[in-house]
Amino acid sequence: MTSEDGHGRFLTFRGAPIFDPQRPGRAVFVGVPLETRTERHRMGSSLGPHHIRLQSLSLNRFGTFMSGGGTRNEFDPVERLDLSDWGDIDLHGDLAESQTMVRAAFANLARLGLRTVSAGGDGSVTLPQLQAHASIRGPLAVLHLDAHTDSNPIKGPGAANCFDVATREGTILAEATVHLGIRGHVMRDDILAHVSRLGHTVIHMDDWTEAAIPDLLQKLRSLFSGRPLYVCIDLDVLDPAAAPGVTSPSWGGLSVREVQKVLRSLAGLDVVAVDINTLNPLFDMQGTTAHLAASLAVEGLHLFVHAENKSHAPHAS
């Protein structure tokens, strides 16, 4: 299913062509309009993919920023990657059935060797994507940018237990799973202790200081190096002053500049997927958060280009 631009034309991310399985390219954008209805007073994240595509059309082609490795990104990642837009996954049935459909769709894309950038949907979109990529690449390292750990030890499909389930089933590498941006109020008083028992690393906002950032980013690179890396960006990792249009806002979050700095520090690592979720257009202001989400998706595409360049670089003999 593909959204339209209001003039009867298919709306795709940054005007990329519609996905063609005969010419899949090297990366693909996928909409995952799934939400769990756990935040009944703030419904609307299923509308996210359309609004991210719409705002992406105002983004220019070429980057000017420096990556962590000192490379200036003066190229068009859509062109470099032969990016296409798969459209939105046509979901129906209950949450478990919908997650099964998401897993199957992403497994097919991963089997083609594609790196994926996805637009949710709420946090329930993440587990099936992790499972899909891990089924092809093996257990994944994870950088999870979020105000919440989404690692609660609860049963059944949902958004709040994603990384607990993924750890227990061996989908992700516990020792290479990092939750960055944690803060605010939570469901359980023992959640940080539980996440520690799982073997994950938590970088709480209390520990995210200007003086500590360079060392923390270097530790992340060392931890993720040589491993397939899944980057999950729950937009509530950002302070609501920067990203008001999210499902579960939490004050005291990262700035846009800090999120960019984190992402750019990953250049050259084997980033296999970038998952952007919890945009809620019903609470957005003039498309501000959707535009930011589109911009972060492009940052992810730049990471894919750097990963491809690294994998194809000649080895010293």
> What whole-number distance in Å separates Cα of residue 301 and Cα of residue 143?
16
Q: Is the pLDDT of residue 176 over 60?
A: yes
pLDDT, residue 316, reads 41
Residues 6+ away with beta carbon under 8 Å from 265: 68, 217, 220, 221
Query: CA-to-CA distance for 298 and 179, rounded, in angstroms?
Result: 22
Q: What amino acid occupies position 250?
A: S
> Would you list the DSSP string of 77-146?
HHHHTT-EEEEE----SSHHHHHHHHHHHHHHHHHTT-EEEEEESSGGGHHHHHHHHHHHH-SEEEEEE-
- Does the pLDDT of residue 161 top 70, yes or no? yes
The model's pLDDT over 206-254, given as tens digits with 9 standing for 90+, comes to 999 999 999 999 999 999 999 999 999 999 999 999 999 999 999 999 9
Judged against a pLDDT cut of 90, whether residue 1 lies above it is answered with no
Confidence of residue 68 (pLDDT cuts 50, 70, 90): low
Distance of CA 151 to the CA centre of its chain: 16
CA distance 89 to 213: 37
- Average pLDDT across the chain, whole number: 92
User: 8 pLDDT exceeds 80?
Assistant: no
Above 80 in pLDDT, residue 56? yes
Write down the pLDDT at residue 7: 46
Dihedral class, residue 87 (left if φ above 0, else alpha if ψ from -120 to 50, else beta): left
Check if the beta carbon of residue 311 is closer than 8 Å to that of residue 269. no
Mean of pLDDT values over 179-188: 91
Tell me what pLDDT residue 247 has. Answer: 92
Structural domains present in the chain: 22-312 (3.40.800.10)
**Residue 36 confidence class, pLDDT cut points 50, 70, 90:** confident
